[in-house]
Amino acid sequence: MYKKQEVYALLNERGIEYEAIEHEAVYNMEEADALELPHREAGTKNLFIRDDKKRNYYVVSIPEHDRLDLKGLREKLESRPLKFAQDNELMDLMGLIPGQVTPFGTLNDTEHKVKVLISDYFRGGLMDAHPNDNTATIILKADDVVEVLKSFGVDISYIKL
């Protein structure tokens, strides 16, 4: 199971540069904003969604103050109606609790049920994410996130939203 220290170790092992900021637990964007983290352009909101038949699950990473248009995303994915996944699904699939949603959670999804969609806004730039624990935030290149997760067999891609 990849928890905070295992995520750090993985990034270090791969030689990936990142900045880690330890902080009190945050559970929503208002609490995250209050932290006043560096590199605000890297601010990311990670949402855990699924289709209405519970066949397809997604972690969607968007700029922190954007709103996700579920109907628009549904059209792009040519999927069934989308909705937010339940807390128990988050725990069952990635071993995370609400407030900890992150692309790195897919490291714990051994059955590869969860796909990751990262806003094209982050391509070639920085993004931030929890290292599977909402008491820390790491800031790193989005392309490094994509590379690492792909190496674990995660279905991850950039998407124009």
Q: How far is CA 153 from CA 16, 70, 92, 108, 143, in A?
A: 18, 25, 19, 11, 15
Element housing 156 (H / E): strand 156-159
Amino acid at 27: Y
- Predicted pLDDT of residue 157: 97
Check pLDDT > 90 for residue 33. no
Question: What's the order of all strands across the beta sheet hosting 126-129?
Answer: 18-22, 136-141, 126-129
Check pLDDT > 90 for residue 119. yes
pLDDT-derived band of residue 29, with 50, 70 and 90 as boundaries?
confident
Rounded percentage of the chain residues whose pLDDT exceeds 90: 92
Q: Which segments of 14-141 does DSSP mark as H helices, in order?
A: 29-34, 70-77, 87-94
Domain-wise residue ranges, the chain: 4-34+44-159
- Predicted pLDDT of residue 127: 98
pLDDT-derived band of residue 156, with 50, 70 and 90 as boundaries?
very high
Encoded tokens for 46: 């990670």
* Tens of pLDDT, residues 36-61: 899 989 999 999 999 999 999 999 99
The CATH number of 4-34+44-159, from 3.40.50.300, 3.90.960.10, 3.40.50.1110, 3.40.50.11030, is 3.90.960.10
Check pLDDT > 90 for residue 10. yes
